[in-house]
């Protein structure tokens, strides 16, 4: 496997060289083979025009590519963008470039010479625009070569200027159109294939039993998801505040990992989070699929008439959700002739919530989703021997020693290590161990102490046993750090890293 630093070095070098050719355009013309390629392409273009048929058009098209590439080294910038990215992103970059180029050609054809004359001022290789552009590309290339762009990203995160969570929520909301984005007057869907019930005295619970009497909040979640956990204080506060006014909360617990299917694990987690409202075990994704859901967490509000009238994906929008609850409870009071007690300050404003500026992605250990595994075979089950050499690259998972890779997790014995360079304030590990595992937690080469998470002892040790989410790091602010976990005792099963 080629180290990611090689691609970054190539990309930074290409972009910097491109900037130099914009600052000094004569350098590009002096490159060996460039002039010869342009001449041959022009000859091919001329022969294409002479054919006057479909094959002639094909020849013209084939000739245009080399002509464009010799007029400007833009294609090298495309390669610099594609190399560090995955195949999907690379294809997207290429499509965006070709779409932009095609649009310019169409505009030139439609608007004619007047537009082309104005455009030519920007295309002048010795013009001020090209010089400024060249300077920008040189700076960008050097930043990539020396890793300065990561430090800039970390500084932006620490300043709080960019809240990634808000951006993600906005994009997720925008991606859901039609019924998923606004389910006005859409009838509810009943709970499907429940595997069990919690906080109901083992009695089944159905939405249909409460339509016409309650306003219902369906909360699709899972207990080891940090995004879900950050919403729990708000949901429980709404339930305690408005249950006497007719609000019923039903948690739909849809497991991300197999251990979350065990009723005793879910019961323990619900007790720890202070959740007393009914929870349905959706182990086979029956209700999840019935609502066409794809996200943890997700909340639906069902009015007294049984219509889904509100739908929110992810964290955030707590005041908005609470105001919608109050509105629906007012409608219920009007229908039933009941007294409306709600009013005053929103309870969401008094909840001590958490936000995140984490940049690093959720990273999985199991073969089904371990695309960020850097020093081994991803998407491959079985025992692999890993080794660490040099500084790990950002947002990639590194293992050391012998690890058994299963579909959902990776497991290893004492003497093995995990390394991850992340950009975030908090770090969590989803893990468990049958007999109990002891891990030493290091950050930036030192045993963590003052910046340890709540599950780490003063000695910098975390004890893993019950299946769940363990908080390893709690920095004062978001930033880039290198995390190292050393397994000292027991056999560890690691499922995922998640960040806050």
CB 394 within 8 A of CB 480: yes
Q: What is the pLDDT of residue 70?
A: 43
Residue with tokens 């001449």: 39
Range 174-350: architecture per CATH = 3-Layer(aba) Sandwich (3.40)
Report the distance separating Cα 305 and Cα 387, nearest Å: 60
Give span(s): CATH 3.40.30.10, the chain: 174-350
Q: What is the pLDDT of residue 179?
A: 36
Phi-psi region of 285 (alpha: psi -120 to 50; beta: other; left: phi over 0): left
Report the distance separating Cα 500 and Cα 295, nearest Å: 17
SS3 state of residue 485? strand
Cis, peptide link before residue 297, omega less than 30° from 0: yes
Which residues partner with 483 through β-bridges?
Answer: 420, 443
The one-digit pLDDT tens for each residue of the chain (500 residues) are 455 566 667 767 777 777 787 788 776 566 666 555 555 655 555 555 455 555 555 554 554 554 454 444 554 555 555 445 455 655 666 677 677 767 766 766 666 556 555 655 666 667 777 778 778 878 877 877 776 765 665 565 555 555 555 555 555 555 544 334 444 569 999 999 999 999 999 999 999 999 999 999 999 999 999 999 999 999 999 999 999 999 999 999 999 999 999 999 999 999 999 999 999 999 999 999 999 999 999 999 999 999 999 999 999 999 999 999 999 999 999 999 887 766 678 999 999 877 778 999 999 999 999 999 999 999 999 999 999 988 899 999 999 999 999 999 999 999 999 999 999 999 999 999 999 999 999 999 999 999 999 999 999 999 999 999 999 999 999 999 999 999 999 999 999 999 99
Report which DSSP code applies to 362: P
Report the distance separating Cα 410 and Cα 382, nearest Å: 9
The 10 Å Cβ neighbour count of residue 57 is: 13
Q: What is the pLDDT of residue 138?
A: 82
Q: Which two tokens stand for residue 459?
A: 């000695």
Q: Which of 349, 331, 351 is nearest to 340 (CA)?
A: 331
Give span(s): CATH 2.60.120.260, the chain: 363-499
Sign of CA pseudo-dihedral 393, 394, 399, 404 = negative
Residue with tokens 């995922």: 496
Report the distance separating Cα 74 and Cα 65, nearest Å: 11
SS3 state of residue 492? strand
363-499: what fold? Jelly Rolls (2.60.120)
> Dihedral of the CA atoms 139, 141, 145, 150 (nearest 10)?
70
The whole-model pTM stands at: 0.65
Which residues partner with 118 through β-bridges?
Answer: none
Q: Which two tokens stand for residue 130?
A: 């090209």
Q: What is the pLDDT of residue 305?
A: 96
Report the distance separating Cα 401 and Cα 415, nearest Å: 7
């Amino acid at each position: 496997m080629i180290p990611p630093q090689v691609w970054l070095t190539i990309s930074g070098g290409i972009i910097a060289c491109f900037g130099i050719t914009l600052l000094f355009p004569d350098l590009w013309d002096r490159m060996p083979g460039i002039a010869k390629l342009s001449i041959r392409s022009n000859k091919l273009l001329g022969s294409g025009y002479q054919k006057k048929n479909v094959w002639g058009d094909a020849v013209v098209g084939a000739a245009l590519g080399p002509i464009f590439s010799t007029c400007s080294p833009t294609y090298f910038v495309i390669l610099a963008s594609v190399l560090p990215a995955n195949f999907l992103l690379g294809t997207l970059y290429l499509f965006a470039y070709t779409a932009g180029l095609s649009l310019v050609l169409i505009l030139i054809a439609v608007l004619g010479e007047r537009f082309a004359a104005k455009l030519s001022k920007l295309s002048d290789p010795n013009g001020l625009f090209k010089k400024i552009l060249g300077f920008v590309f040189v700076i960008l290339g050097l930043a990539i070569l020396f890793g300065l762009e990561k430090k800039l990203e970390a500084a932006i995160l620490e300043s709080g200027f960019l809240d990634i969570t808000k951006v993600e929520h906005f994009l997720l909301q925008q991606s859901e159109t039609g019924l998923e984005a606004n389910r006005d007057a859409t009838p509810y869907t009943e709970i499907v294939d429940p595997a069990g019930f919690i906080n109901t005295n083992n009695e089944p619970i159905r939405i249909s039993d409460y339509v016409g009497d309650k306003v219902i909040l369906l909360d699709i979640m899972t207990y080891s998801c940090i995004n879900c956990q950050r919403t729990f204080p708000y949901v429980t506060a709404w339930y305690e505040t408005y249950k006497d006014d007719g609000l019923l909360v039903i948690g739909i617990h849809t497991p991300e990992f197999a251990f979350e299917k065990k009723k005793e694990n879910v019961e323990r987690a619900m007790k720890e989070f202070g959740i007393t409202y009914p929870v349905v075990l959706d182990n086979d994704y029956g209700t999840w699929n019935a609502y066409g859901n794809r996200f943890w967490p997700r909340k639906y509000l069902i009015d007294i008439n049984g219509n889904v009238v509100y739908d929110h994906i992810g964290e955030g929008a707590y005041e908005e959700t609470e105001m919608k609850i109050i509105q629906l409870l007012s409608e219920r009071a009007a229908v039933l002739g009941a007294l409306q007690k709600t009013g005053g300050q929103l309870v969401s404003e008094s909840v001590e919530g958490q936000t995140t500026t984490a940049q690093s992605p959720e990273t999985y250990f199991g073969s089904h989703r371990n695309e960020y595994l850097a020093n081994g075979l991803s998407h491959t089950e079985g025992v692999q021997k890993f080794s660490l050499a040099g500084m790990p690259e950002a947002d990639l998972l590194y293992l050391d020693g012998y690890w058994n890779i299963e579909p959902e997790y990776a497991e290893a014995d004492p003497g093995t290590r995990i390394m991850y360079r992340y950009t975030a304030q908090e770090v969590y590990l989803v893990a468990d161990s049958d007999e109990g595992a002891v891990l030493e937690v290091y950050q930036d080469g030192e045993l963590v102490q003052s910046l340890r998470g709540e599950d780490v002892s003063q000695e910098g040790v975390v004890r893993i046993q019950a299946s769940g989410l363990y908080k390893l790091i709690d920095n004062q602010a978001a930033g880039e750090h290198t995390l190292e976990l050393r397994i000292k005792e027991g056999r560890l099963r690691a499922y995922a890293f998640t960040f806050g």
